[in-house]
Amino acid sequence: MRRLLAPPHRASDPIIWHGLIALLFLVLVLIRIRIPSTPYFDEVHYVAAARHFLDLSNAVNLEHPPLGKELIALSIWLFGDSPFGWRALAALFGTLALFATMRAVWLTGRAGTASVLTGLFVGSNFVLFVQSRIAMLDVFMVSFLMLATWMVVGAFRQNETARWRLAIGGAAIGAAMACKWNAVPLAVLPGLTFLAIRVREARWQTLTGTRFAPIRGMALWEAALWLGVWPLAVYWAAFLPYGAFADPGHTSAGIVALHRQMLELQQQVLKPHPYQSVWWQWIVNGRAIWYLYEVIDGAQRGIMVIGNPVTMIAGLPALGWCLWAGAKEGRRDCLGVALLYLISMALWVVAPKPVQFYFHYFLPSIFLSAALALAVTEMWQRGWRIVAAGVTLATLITFAFWYPVLSAAPLAGNQSFLIWAWFDGWR
């Protein structure tokens, strides 16, 4: 426990590299972001719901909390009701998710190389890239969670900044839950982590002591305010715009009744979908989704959602090493990403949602990519430099090879998908 709580060693902050990687990611995301010029895949639901927030006519798409749809509405209001307008904030939030992940890894272990590699592996893992180019809810949820992770880790490591960091982090936790309920298992972790460390360090002074880790100078009640009450207030505030609808529908029955309705909608049995999958297929990268594959905007185009094969497969032994290094060597960065991966995956093992898709692996894929970055850094430091460089280059080359069907580039013909769809599960 003392090793986990020890201040990290001094090292040069690679924030400029983090910024450059995030900027390059944004540039690549914006290429052809206006294509397709009509809503595709789940945009047909969320863009329509966002328009209802703009005209305040009636509430639709009630199976999810409202904040993600409100942000798409804000994007339309800022940038126009056009393909760019629907997707612009998704691109910015995806970039924020990438930057926040790099900052969180840096603050956890002060390993500059690992944090930079995290940016390269997360940015090229396919999932973040595609979700940053479509008006869906997931990228907003993930972005808020990674922002919260950055802020909470910073508060634990730099106690003098704790209050403003927890104010931002708590708001981000509430906002993540207000985008999708998938965030809930990770949303409770900061508060539980604070409590566990405080009990371990303060013992009988847990309730009153302020001289103890993880944030010296902060009482347990104040941490509960920032990490418990404040997130719930932000979550509740996201529902307030429903009161302005001309026809509020089920939202007029009150927030408790609305949540019962949302839960029922989440658990309803839907018709089987040709691209549905289950959690173990995500782990082995076995079932893709084609968000788009048709002749549109003057050419045959496709948008494929699957994980980068190098990252997703090499990330599995890397994840095992992170668990070992965290447990045996006290590596808090390794232990952190491994536990976050397992907790975010556990939701989908037990979730009652009957129809699931590969994009539900979005959040675990972030932590898996970070685990690979930590493992590659360790290999480099141990002298296995050819292997470390090979994994990194293979990851980036694979991203470049897949880029046409991640970014809706023009394809040669209707059988072009076979260039990338190597297995039946990818078709």
pLDDT in tens, 161-212: 999 999 999 999 999 999 999 999 999 999 999 999 999 999 988 888 889 9
Give the lowest-confidence range in 2-11, 131-140, 239-248, 358-367. Answer: 2-11
Sign of CA dihedral 359, 362, 364, 368: positive
pLDDT at position 269 is 60
Count of residues in the chain: 427
pLDDT in tens, 298-347: 999 999 999 999 999 999 999 999 999 999 988 989 999 999 999 999 98
Residue 176 lies inside a defined structural domain of this protein: yes
Give the domain range for residue 221.
11-426
Distance CA 167, CA 71 (A): 21
* Domains of the chain: total: 1
Residue 201 lies inside a defined structural domain of this protein: yes
Helix residue ranges per DSSP H, 241-352: 255-267, 279-283, 309-329, 332-350
pLDDT at position 354 is 74
Residue 2 lies inside a defined structural domain of this protein: no
Distance CA 313, CA 353 (A): 26
Distance of CA 105 to the CA centre of its chain: 14
Residue 212 lies inside a defined structural domain of this protein: yes
Distance CA 380, CA 397 (A): 19
Mean of the per-residue pLDDT values of the chain: 93
Q: What DSSP string runs through 132-197?
A: TTS--SHHHHHHHHHHHHHHHHHHHH-GGGHHHHHHHHHHHHHHHHHH-GGGHHHHTHHHHHHHHH
Residue 328 lies inside a defined structural domain of this protein: yes
pLDDT in tens, 18-31: 999 999 999 999 99
pLDDT in tens, 384-410: 999 999 999 999 999 999 999 999 999
Distance of CA 39 to the CA centre of its chain: 22
Using an 8 Å Cβ cutoff, are 146 and 104 in contact?
A: yes
Q: How confident is the model at residue 11 (pLDDT cuts 50, 70, 90)?
A: low
Average pLDDT, integer, range 115-143: 98
Exposed/middle/buried for residue 390 (C-beta within 10 Å: 0-12, 13-18, 19+): middle
Using an 8 Å Cβ cutoff, are 238 and 73 in contact?
A: no
User: Tokens standing for 319?
Assistant: 């994840």
Residue 268 lies inside a defined structural domain of this protein: yes
Residue 307 lies inside a defined structural domain of this protein: yes
